[in-house]
Amino acid sequence: MRVRLGIVIALTALCAPAAERDPAFVSARDHYTNADFRRAAAGFQFLCNINKDAEACYWAGLSYERLADIAMPFGCRIEAKARGYYSQAVKLEPRLPVYRDALFDFLLNTADCSRTALRDAAAMLSAVRESDPDFDHKSRRLEQELHRNTSPDAHLARIFLIVPRATYRMAVPQDR
């Protein structure tokens, strides 16, 4: 599982204002803390869509990302939901680096499920100033992921994942 405990712990302080004003947020966060990611995702999704709350969108993204981790190798559809909520959090609060960093990391980590993830991560990096302290680290990570994703091993791994994913899609009705 791709766990960003540091970010989750750091956001606990950020969550205090939302927790004080919205019991639904507290309930969804409790579900997340208790590893009930499906209920947490539903709660945060509701808050994100109704209140246009960047923090709830971020937590919805985290919840869907955990659900995708559990569903691997069939988690790509769920990861698409996580990506959407991370993107919405960044759109609602573009100045908050925690949300941008989470989306950037997510794009790099899910490049095997998305054809556009690395391109979008590169676009995000191009918006970062070279004087930014994280620029070199992010640039190296992107280069490593680009190299890893274009290797013959990565192509072979994608071929082997096509069969189980296709079988799963035929066997399980997809919600649209």
- Three-state helix/strand/coil letters over 39-70: HHHHHHHHHHHHHCCHHHHHHHHHHHHHHHHH
Indicate if the pLDDT at residue 53 is higher than 80: yes
What would the pLDDT profile of 76-85 be if each residue is shown by its tens digit?
Answer: 767 788 889 9
Indicate if the pLDDT at residue 5 is higher than 50: no
User: Residue 98: which pLDDT band, with cuts at 50, 70 and 90?
Assistant: very high
Query: Would you state the pLDDT for residue 116?
Result: 81
User: Residue 9: which pLDDT band, with cuts at 50, 70 and 90?
Assistant: very low
Q: What is the mean pLDDT of residues 93-97?
A: 90
Which one, of 34, 33, 37, lies nearest residue 60 by Cα?
Answer: 37
pTM: 0.69
Q: What backbone torsions phi and psi does residue 4 show, to the nearest 5 degrees?
A: -110, 65
CA distance 29 to 18: 11
Query: Would you state the pLDDT for residue 77?
Result: 67
Residue scoring higher pLDDT (64 or 15)? 64
Q: What backbone torsions phi and psi does residue 75 show, to the nearest 5 degrees?
A: -90, 5
Structure tokens at 24: 């639904």
User: Residue 136: which pLDDT band, with cuts at 50, 70 and 90?
Assistant: confident
Three-state SS at 1: coil
Indicate if the pLDDT at residue 156 is higher than 70: no
Q: What domains can you pick out in the chain, each with its CATH number?
A: 5-171 (1.25.40.10)
